[in-house]
Amino acid sequence: MNRLTPSPLKIILAMAFVVACWGYSPSGIHIGLVAYDPVHLALLRFLIASVFMAVVAVSRGIHPPKLRDLPLLFGLGFFAVSLHHVAINFGQQGVSAGASSVLAQTTPLFSTLLARFVFKDRVSAWRWGCVVLGLVGVMIVVAGDHGFGSIDAHGLLILLSALSWSIYFALQKHHTGRYDGLTLVCYTVWSGTALLLVFLPGLADQVVNAPLRVQLAVFALGIFPSALAYLAWAYVLAHVDLSRATMTLYLVPPMAMVIASFTLGERPTLMVGVGAVVVLISVLALNLERRAVVQVARV
């Protein structure tokens, strides 16, 4: 039993690794966009991730998917990889890395809206309050980043990526138990990459012409946030309650801002910082209510 239970230190290190990887992602995207257009950046990033995951899959001997599950797996790949990353790449053309990391953290707020209007779940007044507070935080972030006068589709595309991520989580939640975490991550990455192959024409020219700094940044995007972080996150979820593990993700925006300050020279404004706090408080309050409901149900 003790051999199957990892030490708390290993779990903490895995959580810290996930935060560092996903905190790097906005800066890596900004560097990649110097030489790649958004669709080619998404494709190259996940071609690298797909090859890496293939090596992992062969070493771990994962099972092939069932034919009837292919629509589900491609749906997961579309929302988690294709739509999410194309939208966020286009969005970051006009949004700073720090602000992007905050806007991307609104996924739980969209999950609440999906629960009410798509899955017809009952949503409490507390959760509605969290959604409203989160939207206020989003407006503060946008205003502090470039100002309301410069609002365009870029910020909305970041929010679209968060919505896409929440749909991915909803699909995953309603089809749990069919595959283990590693297998599901592999097929999600591969199916999403397959859908991105429509953008393959023109990729080779951009690869040849991209400077070394950009190439290294994109390679890091493919290996760390797109592959290793998912594996580490699956490891964390296998040993830690989801509500507790999710709390770790509130460290991603501050980490993203710190990394962006070193790699991109970004200095987030006071309003972006205030908006980030408001968004994170709303998401934290949302998860605290869920945790309280679970504890009452257990009693």
User: Which pLDDT value is given to residue 119?
Assistant: 66
Mean pLDDT of 21-46: 96
User: Which pLDDT value is given to residue 294?
Assistant: 42
Per the prediction, the chain carries an average pLDDT of 84
User: Which pLDDT value is given to residue 139?
Assistant: 77
Tell which residue, 165, 40, 48, 192, has the closest CA to residue 101: 165
The residues near 280 (Cβ < 8 Å, ≥ 6 apart) are: 102, 105, 137, 250, 253
Does the pLDDT value for residue 146 go beyond 70? no
Lowest-pLDDT range, 91-95, 99-103, 255-259? 99-103
The CA-to-CA distance between both ends of the chain, in Å, stands at 27
User: Which pLDDT value is given to residue 21?
Assistant: 95
Predicted confidence (pLDDT) per residue in 151-197, tens digit? 567 888 998 998 998 888 888 776 667 788 788 889 999 999 999 99
Find the helix packing angle between 38-60 and 212-223, rounded to 10°: 50
How many angstroms separate the CA atoms of 124 and 296, rounded?
A: 15
Does the pLDDT value for residue 67 go beyond 60? yes
Predicted confidence (pLDDT) per residue in 217-253, tens digit? 999 999 999 999 988 887 887 777 655 666 677 788 8
User: Which pLDDT value is given to residue 207?
Assistant: 96
How many angstroms separate the CA atoms of 100 and 153, rounded?
A: 13
Determine the residue type at 57.
A
User: Which pLDDT value is given to residue 47?
Assistant: 97
User: Which pLDDT value is given to residue 30?
Assistant: 95
Does the pLDDT value for residue 295 go beyond 50? no
Structure tokens at 89: 């790449």
User: Which pLDDT value is given to residue 269?
Assistant: 79
Does the pLDDT value for residue 1 go beyond 50? no
Most confident residue range from 14-18, 38-42, 90-94, 237-241: 38-42
How many angstroms separate the CA atoms of 113 and 128, rounded?
A: 9
The reported pTM is 0.84
Q: Which residue has the higher pLDDT, 295 or 261?
A: 261
Does the pLDDT value for residue 147 go beyond 80? no
Does the pLDDT value for residue 150 go beyond 60? no
Find the helix packing angle between 181-196 and 70-77, rounded to 10°: 70
User: Which pLDDT value is given to residue 293?
Assistant: 42
Does the pLDDT value for residue 297 go beyond 60? no
Predicted confidence (pLDDT) per residue in 114-141, tens digit? 776 776 667 778 878 887 888 888 778 8
- Structural domain spans, the chain: 8-298
Confidence of residue 279 (pLDDT cuts 50, 70, 90): confident
Find the helix packing angle between 270-298 and 125-145, rounded to 10°: 160
User: Which pLDDT value is given to residue 131?
Assistant: 79
User: Which pLDDT value is given to residue 214?
Assistant: 96
Determine the residue type at 38.
P
